[in-house]
Amino acid sequence: MTTTPTRDEAFALLCEFTASESLRAHALGVEASLRAFARERSEDEHLFGLCGLLHDLDYERWPDPAEHTVQAARILRERGYPEAVTLAILGHNHQAPRDSLLAKALYAVDELSGFVVACALVRPQKNIGTLEPPSVLKKMKDKAFARQVDRAVIRASAEELGVPLDELCRLVIGALRGIAPTLGLTT
């Protein structure tokens, strides 16, 4: 019988494969968002957190879409991580079906977490404490803002998860407020 790795072990694994501070910060944001989602749904917060923390584990070394998440799955399986985490991570890059709540939640908060951070960074004093869902939704309509963010993915993933987009924004904003200093944001 294998035991689920601790959060510290997962963070060490992330750091082993990810040198970029911005990619690590993104992982922390997705982790916080998934933990908040799990709390609201009475799901396994630790499991959801591990998934968020490790979802882009391989991206720095294998950014090609054909390799990204496939390499992470290999690494996670070799190290005994729960298959639910591995399958959800594969699903966020379309390498496996998103047929679990964990997989759908990861897909939904991944892109949105980065977009919410971008919204907070353009506020006075980079203050996420004053950011509200209507502001995020308004920024989504501005095609010149954070061009690299795929708004269609954000909308479709919220629908796939079955959570209204404004509610998902509220959840992600709240989660990121909890780790604002780590993300270089104020509250």
**For residue 175, what pLDDT is reported?**
98
**pLDDT classification of 187: cutoffs 50, 70, 90:** confident
How far are the Cα atoms of 9, 46, 81, 145, 178 from residue 6, in angstroms, in the given order? 5, 8, 10, 37, 20
Taking a C-beta distance cutoff of 8 angstroms, is the pair 174, 187 a contact?
Answer: no
Give tens-digit pLDDT for 132-174.
999 999 999 999 999 999 999 999 999 999 999 999 999 999 9
Residue range 1-60, pLDDT digits in tens? 457 899 999 999 999 999 999 999 999 999 999 999 999 999 999 999 999 999 999 999
Q: What is the pLDDT of residue 1?
A: 41
In this prediction, residue 95 has a pLDDT band, given cuts at 50, 70 and 90, of confident
Domains assigned to the chain: 7-183 (1.10.3210)
**Residue 79 contacts by C-beta under 8 Å, 6 or more apart in sequence?**
5, 13
The closest alpha carbon to 114, from 163, 68, 175, 72, belongs to: 175
Neighbours of 117 (CB within 10 A): 23
pTM of the shown model: 0.96
Q: Which residues pair with 71 in a beta bridge?
A: none
Region of poorest pLDDT, from 107-111, 171-175, 183-187: 183-187
| Among the listed residues 53, 64, 175, the one whose alpha carbon sits nearest the alpha carbon of residue 112 | 175
